[in-house]
Structure 1
């Protein structure tokens, strides 16, 4: 009987109280696991957002700095120097490209390597208010023979022959008869190569695929086939600013920086900021300033493409002389400012003492 009583008690299983306690403990464990999973997913999501923003910011800086360093390249040796003129932002003719070949020595002109645009030209649109636009001019780093010129492109041919009457020629690829300049041996059968003319405008648009999104995007308008063509480069670039390094003593190095060489603010020209050259003071004319730009400081503000819960952006961002404090934006978007200095090697190299 004693054994039967023991078997009867063991067969009864859990009581209701024991079962409720077990369920409660299981629920606490499940809640903990779910909270850990949610926290891990959120952390991974924030990490992905930050990684994309860092990649976008660094790529934008790389693209801008590399192209600024190439600005002013004309395919000639560093000893060749030409006068400079302001370029036309949206060229429609060969003359508007800014390359003017003259027979008189020292009078031929090329466009400024870099140039600030104060108003959006007709060939670009949706420019984000308060952001800077930079126009770059140069020729392609790869040369092509005259026979391989593409009809729709515009080319620059630079002479290295002392017998040629002009230092360079500019024409469409279809007009190969216009390219008669020779190389150093001055043989008519050995024509100087051609280099495609490159003109680019870097700017921030208020949208990537305009009409479908409102994502701020770094874009470039590039001169192709005789017209400007706009291409998106990097999403999430919210602001773009430039400072221009002015060489005041003709040694190839910037002596101070200004936000707008066309009309520098008086505070940026002050003696304490820009020590004057001796014995002659610097003139501070627009033409002289642009001709003496030897470096560009680039400032980029990159942002996440999505908001972050629990985050409010109350920060202020230093974007150079023109925008020393951007923000606070007081939204859910995380941002980061990037800055670098790009030297104009083709302009500054001509001034370096051997």
Structure 2
């Protein structure tokens, strides 16, 4: 009988090859899910951190930019150009919401008078805001500041002849001109003042008048959002035009540095030039100079306080434009100067920070400095 032939044994390396068991497959899947979960958590955390970093960066940028804009304009306030006169009388403009050249407050005769460089205006909490802001959604209990000056860019009367809606001021440096300055619309025949050589062929330059009201609105694009925004109302082409400047500015307050001894330096800061708080003007807080300064509230002293403002301390409260998940502002309060040492708490999901700076009114204070 024939014996069956047996197959040789399989090589050892082939016998070692085999598939995963069910247990091994389940363990591998579990480890993969753990790794995937950790990766997803890391990605979500990174995205959230990046989002918060972007919000914080925008808030810092907005707060500092708001200070930069306000400080630059305050430091230039009162500028009128080269002049042969060392000092000018200044008074409040007839109308903060200028609608004509007369409302700007440039009076050349009989007593030459310029508008105040800087002036506080009432807010919705301390009085009625200017009429041109009645539809601007002014945020309650926030500061409003009026700044007047002339543009740093000078042009010739001929260059302004075609722009008959813009207001310009021309300042004489000729000793024989009959008036020190002229304020009129472009193309006006009154622009005949001369430079120091007194040549009719060398007229004094013209500078555009600037009158701006800085305030906080409850919205950037009103009707579309509710983001608090720093805005400016500016006299342009014969009308007040409102422009958003910096969004996310939740509040703004000003303290005014009063020169009490006439040397051009602020000696005492008050939050209200027209009716300063006795606490802020008390001798222990604000020592009297050799010649006593009269803080009594009356028309004369109010005008003096306004004219003696040499610096402005600015405080702005910047807020994220978007809420932060899980964040509650809680019981935090914010110091916004003399009149608002404890603003808040807001108890909402927005992160905030206070930014402050002091801006000197160079064109006013410089004239008082002792040589």
TM tier relative to shorter chain: over 0.9
2:182 counterpart of 1:169: yes
TM-score, length of structure 2 as denominator length = 0.90
Q: Deviations over 1:159-214 (max 9, x none)?
A: 11111121111111031x11111111112222111111000000111111111111
C-alpha contact 2:157 2:187 (8 A) present in aligned 1: no
Instruction: Return the alpha-carbon distance in structure 2 between the equivalents of residues 197 and 114 of structure 1.
Output: 14
TM-score (norm 1): 0.95
Unaligned runs of at least 5 residues, structure 2: 1-6, 123-127
What is the deviation of 1:12?
4.6
Following the alignment from structure 1 to structure 2, what is the Cα–Cα distance between the partners of residues 262 and 274?
A: 17
Match of 1:50 in 2: 56
| Residue 152 (structure 1) aligns with | 165
Q: SS state of the match for residue 123, structure 1?
A: helix
8 Å Cα contact 1:248-1:282 kept in structure 2: no
- The match for 2:342 is 325
What secondary structure sits across from 2:57 in the alignment?
helix
Contact persistence 2:276–2:295 (CA under 8 A): no
SS at structure 2 position matched to 1:160: coil
What does residue range 74-85 of structure 1 map to in structure 2 within 5 Å? 74-77=80-83, 80-85=86-91
2:137 paired residue number: 126
Could you say which residue in structure 2 is the equivalent of 1:94?
101
Please say if residues 157 and 195 of structure 1, whose CA atoms lie closer than 8 Å, have aligned partners that are also in contact.
yes
Alignment match, 1:110 = 114
Q: Which portions of structure 1, spanning 4 or more consecutive aligned residues, are displaced by more than 6 angstroms?
A: 5-9
Three-state SS of the structure 2 residue aligned to 1:245 is strand
SS at match of 2:318: strand
Q: Is the 8 A contact 1:218 1:232 kept in 2?
A: yes
Corresponding residue for 2:213? Answer: 201
SS in 1 for 2:240: strand
Shift of 1:10: 4.5
1:279 Cα offset (Å): 3.4
Give the Cα–Cα distance (whole angstroms) in 2 for the partners of residues 340 and 182 of structure 1: 39
CA contact (8 A) 1:241 1:320 kept: yes
Counterpart for residue 153 of structure 2? 142
CA distance, structure 2, for counterparts of residue 193 and residue 41 of structure 1:
56
Q: Which residue of 1 aligns with 2:223?
A: 211
The structure with the largest alpha-carbon Rg is 2
* Aligned equivalents of 1:282, 1:333: Cα separation in 2: 44
How much has 1:93 moved relative to structure 2? 2.2
Q: Against the structure 1 CA distance between its residues 89 and 293, is the aligned structure 2 distance closer, same or farther, given a 3 Å change threshold?
A: same
Q: Which secondary structure does the structure 1 equivalent of 2:251 belong to? A: strand
